[in-house]
Chains A and B, each alone.
Chain A
């Protein structure tokens, strides 16, 4: 790490990053890295310096330990350990046979949610006072250490000479402690508010004898790909010396072999024997001898090709055959290196299964004919990704449970308050759209992302003109994007450029006549431009699509009550609408403001004044200074028996 940049402003030097890369490569090739390190145990010598008992305690396993959790697994009163490891076994159980003192108390707490304490009582602190005056404090946690959760049974070692005087629990979120009576050595349940400990009924266990052994790892492996990978163009030489290109379009098995390799000869014999089944399955097989390639790499004398052919005819090899070049060996090696983390030389034989120009699986070492037939059937029937086959043991994938849509994920960022990260994420997502092949889908997704980018600025209360180009871009890509059109219209309205938005909204509404929110927005734009009759038409259109649209109802009533234009002003119509509004939205300041205006337009000054006062109180409560200001002005009008008329 001596090349590490030492300041945040330093750019990571190439040598530093190269060193990491190098380290990673070495590990990938099988080097250890701080391996063979025993686990540690430190014995507390009564609050003084600890004593390292790692080895004599039997914890010194060199397993690359990771997670570590304690629990009294066998309920005999002392703490046993479970450790998860990188190496075998992936989890190890270490039973406590220390037996310094059999005496302990284990407590399982139960909180009372009615007292705002979680049932698991995580965060509780228990103080146990012993007769010798010693006080033991334990806290209850869920998740400590590294990737680990220990037992919820709190453990108190009592030593050899002491018994319990008192147990006091401070439940999370409470100020005082609850004292529990009747606790002695053993296992106890403590329930919040009960004050009384109840003995656990489970008895201690004596584990049967049993051992395990790490199974020896075979070097043979049948590797099935989660999803097929495109095959390179594979060239080989026929026995006549002519170069040929391997056809990998139909199910094809290529076997790399050498005539001196016994496992290879066994595999070829097995394939020969299974000829009828393999042909019936539609599998082509080609045996590619690599002795020539080997000789050209080592500079050894060229192999006797005739002898190699003779080996094949001796086997009565019924399938195709040929000679592998060094570049073919490299290509096949490259394929396995790209798929497996562990970088190992390819063994002989190695067999690769191709179909539709893609690699589906390969076998290191002798292939099993039964597995090969299964595989051939699978790739013929469903030549697609099939992760379930790539795993050695069954299980379930969680991907279907997680959202993947970039808009939904951007929303997670926004919910967390990470606006800039959301933006970065959206921009990264734009770059990734190159992978979408359908141009129509790509355009739609890009439009969604562009719109969302605009929204990130709006959420930051940035000036509307910052967001505007993103909305424009969205509408360019998808001219009838409803959300983008709405955002665009709002931004333009804020910039006093409502007029420009009208044709856009009209276009979207034409495409989606049921979008009442668009119609309302269109009405609002007309209203802002003083085109009240046009506005009324849009609010009606909105109410036709959705009779309960509050905004449409409210604006329609407002315009009939307050319009300065003869054709639009209609106090009678306003009163009818106001009745509905008052019934449904009597607690909404804006709704009451409208109702008051309708009452005033109808000349009902008293009721108008009362209603406006109620609206004002609500607006003050909601801390809406603009509405408060407007209502105060209107209230004065109503009190002096004047209706409110918009200018």
Chain B
């Protein structure tokens, strides 16, 4: 293997010398070959791959607005299908956008190769050529004798000819037939169509990237945050604690008490955390070193809270060893008052609440992997079993005892039940409106926990009611947030998970876990579904994820309810993507 990759590098070398780029030493930094779906015995994956190549022709046609001969060649002579842009009806509008969906009325049929070109033009004609981006995901494959049925999810954005901004979200059901070497499309149906159009010309997107405006002049941003993790992975000794995953969060709070929000940014091992003090004009500058919070260990979550009720914001930072608890001197300088070692596991997200109603804030640390359970150079957990892993790290509830001292209450109050999951995040809320705080914990590789607080006098007891309340959400849980999305006064729950189009394709195939029962296979499919929205009914929760169309968060991490358009209805935002590197051959 060493020899093989060496030979392939020789070719590289020739180019490198010619271009005066630094040449590489052959045989070093040896890589391994990729997975090839064509060699795994998965017919469905091979078909999906072939079809996606065909769809690139359509993508080109959409993005360039020109229908070449290759577009017509995609389909069979006997092709029949619908318009790519069906008849729509407005379902929502605010001052800026109009949301339209397929009206469900009888659609015009397009037939033959010419018909297909015209069907495509229904979408491209009103749009500015060259301004459009289209992305397809293959979400379902059914192999048939001489071809396949394929389902696609489409996201498209661009501008209309009169300058309005547009996004199209659609699902297509297609049928393909093998014709000699080629796969030809014979049927095309729209199973879902939504388009959002601005009411007026809108040259800029609804959110502007103002990173440069706010932080661009700051040296800490220029020297550190302007580089992605991959830059540092090629330069820093792994013993600095640097990790590939980029699990470094942020916290908003007023560090110096001037009434203007500041931002604490957690960083990877070997790179200092940053504290950006907001200025009146919206710019911000880093003062982490002077404030005493420029920690170099891998830091994941952080919280601004007033731990001693003295009116300033103290700071907790989850570093690998445990929690660093800082006291604010009132002017934005910090001193470590306590370092709470968490020997059980590595802390990720932090969530504070006064669960015991004694007037000070307590801390819950969601912990992912067991300490020593993860190879530092590999940084991936080993969940067993994958769909219901129970070999993760213990979460910890730390009660504030005053004077910046804390005590471990996890087991004492019942939170040790189902507590060896891979927990990424937790969120407190009084979901049942009984006056005390309950806790939802999002776990990777399996079920989540809803701990309902049950008080008997002074005795505090949490009971995991996730199953009876219908919020187990068996999936790769990454984050949790509470918010009343339907304005009925009850807090609903949004949980981010992984959406995997490959997962949706593969798990539905007969050969996947062929020896396992239907229920187990269903769990694996659920793992690939994506995010979940649970509507609080007052007596439990309804899983409304599919109807609300909020599953498609992709490989989701952070999520939040936020009313983006000030209409009083809380929208949802989700941060996505696992590992993007220079090599585009995504796994």
User: Can you list 15 residue pairs at the A/B interface with Cβ under 8 Å?
Assistant: A6-B387, A24-B375, A33-B578, A47-B485, A56-B205, A59-B207, A137-B487, A144-B481, A149-B250, A157-B567, A212-B226, A214-B228, A397-B296, A398-B339, A403-B339
Bound-state CA distance A16–B31 (Å) is 21
Of the listed stretches B56-64, B349-357, B458-466, name the one at the interface; the rest are far from the partner chain.
Answer: B349-357
Bound-state CA distance A47–B542 (Å) is 14
Please encode chain A, from 1 to 33, with 1 for each CB lying within 8 Å of some chain B CB and 0 for all others. 110111110101000110011111111111111
B-side contacts of A499, CB under 8 Å: none
Contact A417 B306 (CB under 8 A): no
Contact B27 A326 (CB under 8 A): yes
Contact A146 B282 (CB under 8 A): no
Across the interface, A143 reaches (CB within 8 A) one of B246, B273, B349, namely B349
Cβ-based interface call for B235 (8 A): yes
Find the B residue at minimum CB distance from A88: B228
Across the interface, A27 reaches (CB within 8 A) one of B244, B247, B354, B571, namely B244
Q: How far is the CB of B411 from chain A (nearest CB, A)?
A: 4
Q: How far is the CB of B499 from chain A (nearest CB, A)?
A: 9
Contact B359 A113 (CB under 8 A): yes
Bound-state CA distance A395–B550 (Å) is 41
Across the interface, A2 reaches (CB within 8 A) one of B252, B484, B506, namely B506
A-side contacts of B38, CB under 8 Å: none
Please encode chain B, from 206 to 235, with 1 for each CB lying within 8 Å of some chain A CB and 0 for all others. 111111111111001111111111111111
B-side contacts of A392, CB under 8 Å: 223-224, 232, 235-236, 270-271
Bound-state CA distance A332–B209 (Å) is 43
A-side contacts of B567, CB under 8 Å: 44, 100-101, 157, 159
Across the interface, A158 reaches (CB within 8 A) one of B250, B488, B496, B566, namely B566
B-side contacts of A87, CB under 8 Å: 228-230, 246, 580
Across the interface, A64 reaches (CB within 8 A) one of B3, B396, B424, B580, namely B580
CB contact list, A133-172 vs B, under 8 A: 134-139, 141-153, 155-160, 162, 172
Find the A residue at minimum CB distance from B272: A395
Contact A90 B437 (CB under 8 A): no
Bound-state CA distance A173–B434 (Å) is 10
Given contacts A34-B555, A43-B97, A65-B557, contact A226 B250 (CB under 8 A): no
Cβ-based interface call for B109 (8 A): no
Contact B481 A212 (CB under 8 A): no
CB contact list, A242-273 vs B, under 8 A: 256, 258, 260-263
Contact B573 A73 (CB under 8 A): no
Contact A260 B17 (CB under 8 A): yes
Given contacts A6-B513, A56-B206, A88-B226, contact A42 B213 (CB under 8 A): no
Find the B residue at minimum CB distance from A72: B261
Contact B579 A32 (CB under 8 A): yes
Bound-state CA distance A92–B481 (Å) is 21
Q: How far is the CB of B435 from chain A (nearest CB, A)?
A: 6
B-side contacts of A421, CB under 8 Å: 344
**Number of chain A residues whose Cβ lies closer than 8 Å to a Cβ of chain B:** 215
Given contacts A100-B567, A147-B301, A339-B238, contact A25 B32 (CB under 8 A): yes
Of the listed stretches B117-125, B140-148, B318-326, name the one at the interface; the rest are far from the partner chain.
Answer: B318-326
Bound-state CA distance A143–B167 (Å) is 32
Given contacts A95-B207, A225-B237, A412-B341, contact A346 B513 (CB under 8 A): no
Cβ-based interface call for A276 (8 A): no
Find the A residue at minimum CB distance from B349: A147
Most chain B Cβ neighbours within 10 Å, of A57, A152, A326, A364: A57
Across the interface, A53 reaches (CB within 8 A) one of B97, B295, B496, namely B97
Given contacts A35-B578, A157-B565, 18 further A-B pairs with CB under 8 A are: A32-B585, A32-B586, A43-B564, A45-B569, A51-B196, A68-B574, A84-B266, A91-B263, A98-B206, A101-B565, A127-B489, A138-B484, A143-B350, A147-B425, A341-B236, A342-B230, A346-B25, A391-B296
CB contact list, A35-82 vs B, under 8 A: 35-71, 73-74, 77-82
Cβ-based interface call for B96 (8 A): yes
Bound-state CA distance A34–B498 (Å) is 10
